[in-house]
A and B are shown apart, each in its own frame.
Chain A
């Protein structure tokens, strides 16, 4: 009988062969969804090392690393939950506008209602919870494509954030926290919007956002690979009907994933507000595509059911390096978008090759 190598008909388990174990470990590394993104990140890093046009080759110093790391952090805090949602079989186009809208909500609560900054953070999280629930419930109840549903919430939020801010803010779309003595803002800034690790080589240090990015990536990996919920994410995106047949609460899983993207957007909003002390109406609009690109480049399957959390994090690093790299290479930053388009296309082609190899690897 033609039985695949992995599952064989023979009742006694075959004796282990050391050589085959070694090969399988290598193939396993190749089969990992983030493998392509890791190679891509290394390649992009090397390309800009080569193109670096700064007098002292700053790209390879802490200054260079810090500049793309902080860019990547803001993309990565979002691309990891967006990747998890994609593995769960859904999209969220409202993520970009949400990073701005949450900053505005927090700024309004502090500047106009004079809330303590920590209470404002709680309020911002409540706002994000509502948006995430609305997205999730609309998607699972209407059974419409999440692409359309979240496109609708994206535009609704975009309009509302401009309109509302203009109305309460005397015609200005920016809300600045000019008074530094808002209650709780100092300690909130310490946690979300400050820096660490300053040295002679890098006086400004690294931004706290970087730690949040690492934390989100570790949390995402833990959830996806170690928890029951992670198993449900793969199943919800892989085959929702089969998952329901064995008792997986597919709808609850998807709603929680939408809450995840909304909460992460709130985290980005809180970090950016505490860091810059100002929030702008259209901040973050358009970024939703960077998050999706990072997730796809990171090996998450567009149709769901396959991917990792580390992949989207590496994808965010690729975008961060590209954005900063063109500055170091003294190129026109308009070419960023062209670069992203090409990287996205190559990544999808390469990932599909890897993915097909993964499915065939054990034939």
Chain B
């Protein structure tokens, strides 16, 4: 680590955080620092603990061990609302906007500006449209029609609406949960651009992904998770996209495993066990997907 990084205080910090579900260590002794104006990429395959990490950071559940630190003092998030009040906003992939609603309605959903009193209290629609335009412009998007239905936007633009909204409502830390995983190459590029835009606005961005090719161009630091444990943590200068890919794929480990299976091929029952293992792995990845939603 360079001296410069050490001298600055992180926006949010996870210190030796662990989380168990029954006998499973979903997260084991993981530490993480997020700085303002930096993109921290959390990389890992399905079941690596990315979802658990997001949920601890966004206040869905507390860690069993370790602590969360903001601005030097430990914090406890009793629920997601508390995390939000601390300025931690989570943008869930595909679950961030309502497709049938217009841009301005989506932008202010849950935080509608109002005017008037008593029974005449109503949404300040003119102001809502104006602010939405301004905030989208900050993300580099010019909105022509605030009444446009969000469902007609591309996947990348929908993410941008959610990001711009989180930024406007005071987010200091933005957690983006697999924002590119359902998108094509071009749309992913658009989202990556907005991630950089959020960084330029001084936000601490946590970019969760399993794609090193998306992470590397925009990331400032890279945190690799594997089966709930920290596999490594690197500033950009100390790693390459090839290195990240290799680390994630766990090349050596996979090779070892396949050799072992090869050797046991003749032992009766192994085929059955292998099948069961495969099924279990499928299940694990399925529940992982459910959690990340």
Query: Which chain A residues have a beta carbon within 8 Å of chain B's beta carbons?
Result: 1-14, 24, 28, 222, 226-228, 230-232, 234-235, 238-239, 241-243, 245-248, 301, 305-306, 358-363
Q: In the complex, A93 Cα to B112 Cα: how many Å?
A: 32
Contact A359 B151 (CB under 8 A): yes
- Which A residue's beta carbon lies closest to that of B146? A6
- Among B17-25, B100-108, B229-237, B269-277, the stretch in contact with A: B100-108
Contact A227 B122 (CB under 8 A): yes
B-chain residues with CB within 8 Å of residue A3 when the two chains form the complex: 154, 157
Q: How close is A18's CB to chain B, nearest CB, in angstroms? A: 14
B-chain residues with CB within 8 Å of residue A228 when the two chains form the complex: 112, 114, 121-123
Q: How close is A29's CB to chain B, nearest CB, in angstroms? A: 12
Q: How close is B72's CB to chain A, nearest CB, in angstroms? A: 28
Q: In the complex, A228 Cα to B105 Cα: how many Å?
A: 10
Indicate if B143 sits at the interface (CB-CB under 8 A): yes
Indicate if B109 sits at the interface (CB-CB under 8 A): yes
B-chain residues with CB within 8 Å of residue A232 when the two chains form the complex: 109-110
Q: How close is B81's CB to chain A, nearest CB, in angstroms? A: 7
Q: In the complex, A1 Cα to B191 Cα: how many Å?
A: 13
Q: How close is A26's CB to chain B, nearest CB, in angstroms? A: 14
Q: List 17 A-B contacts (CB under 8 A).
A: A6-B143, A6-B145, A8-B141, A13-B142, A13-B144, A222-B122, A226-B123, A227-B121, A228-B112, A235-B105, A241-B293, A242-B95, A246-B110, A305-B98, A359-B149, A359-B152, A362-B149
Q: In the complex, A301 Cα to B108 Cα: how many Å?
A: 23
New contact pairs (18) apart from A228-B114, A247-B111, CB-CB < 8 Å: A4-B157, A6-B144, A7-B136, A7-B141, A7-B142, A7-B153, A11-B140, A226-B123, A228-B121, A231-B101, A231-B105, A235-B98, A238-B100, A246-B109, A246-B110, A305-B98, A358-B149, A359-B151
Q: How close is A309's CB to chain B, nearest CB, in angstroms? A: 15
Contact A1 B110 (CB under 8 A): no
Contact B145 A24 (CB under 8 A): yes
Contact A1 B186 (CB under 8 A): yes
B-chain residues with CB within 8 Å of residue A361 when the two chains form the complex: 152
Indicate if B96 sits at the interface (CB-CB under 8 A): yes
Contact B100 A306 (CB under 8 A): yes
Indicate if B190 sits at the interface (CB-CB under 8 A): yes
Contact A231 B123 (CB under 8 A): yes
- Which B residue's beta carbon lies closest to that of A304? B100
Q: How close is A239's CB to chain B, nearest CB, in angstroms? A: 4
Count of inter-chain pairs, beta carbons less than 8 A = 125
Contact B144 A14 (CB under 8 A): yes
A-chain residues with CB within 8 Å of residue B95 when the two chains form the complex: 239, 241-242, 245
Indicate if B264 sits at the interface (CB-CB under 8 A): no
Q: How close is B173's CB to chain A, nearest CB, in angstroms? A: 16
Indicate if B130 sits at the interface (CB-CB under 8 A): no
- Which A residue's beta carbon lies closest to that of B145? A6
Indicate if B78 sits at the interface (CB-CB under 8 A): no
Q: In the complex, A243 Cα to B99 Cα: how many Å?
A: 11
Known: A2-B186, A245-B96, A359-B152. A235 touches B144 (CB 8 A): no
> Which residues from 153 to 183 on chain B have a C-beta closer than 8 Å to any C-beta of chain A?
153-154, 157, 165
From A8, A227, A234, B100 is in contact (CB under 8 Å) with A234
- Which B residue's beta carbon lies closest to that of A240? B98
A-chain residues with CB within 8 Å of residue B98 when the two chains form the complex: 234-235, 238-239, 242-243, 305
Q: In the complex, A234 Cα to B150 Cα: how many Å?
A: 13
Q: In the complex, A247 Cα to B186 Cα: how many Å?
A: 31
Contact A7 B114 (CB under 8 A): no
Q: How close is B189's CB to chain A, nearest CB, in angstroms? A: 8
Contact A239 B99 (CB under 8 A): yes
From B92, B140, B154, B186, A245 is in contact (CB under 8 Å) with B92
From A24, A234, A301, A358, B101 is in contact (CB under 8 Å) with A234
B-chain residues with CB within 8 Å of residue A5 when the two chains form the complex: 144
- Most-contacted residue by chain B among A5, A10, A227 (CB, 10 A): A227
Q: In the complex, A90 Cα to B112 Cα: how many Å?
A: 23
- Which B residue's beta carbon lies closest to that of A10? B142
From A6, A24, A227, B123 is in contact (CB under 8 Å) with A227
Q: In the complex, A210 Cα to B250 Cα: how many Å?
A: 73
B-chain residues with CB within 8 Å of residue A4 when the two chains form the complex: 148, 152-154, 157
Q: In the complex, A287 Cα to B147 Cα: how many Å?
A: 35
B-chain residues with CB within 8 Å of residue A8 when the two chains form the complex: 141-142, 144
Known: A28-B147, A227-B123, A247-B110. A235 touches B142 (CB 8 A): no
Indicate if B97 sits at the interface (CB-CB under 8 A): yes
A-chain residues with CB within 8 Å of residue B109 when the two chains form the complex: 231-232, 235, 243, 246, 248
Known: A234-B98, A239-B99, A306-B100. A362 touches B148 (CB 8 A): yes
Q: How close is A163's CB to chain B, nearest CB, in angstroms? A: 40
Indicate if B281 sits at the interface (CB-CB under 8 A): no
Indicate if B249 sits at the interface (CB-CB under 8 A): no
Query: What 9 A-B pairs have minimum CB-CB distances, sorted nearest first?
Result: A247-B110, A6-B148, A238-B98, A246-B110, A305-B100, A228-B112, A226-B122, A239-B98, A13-B142
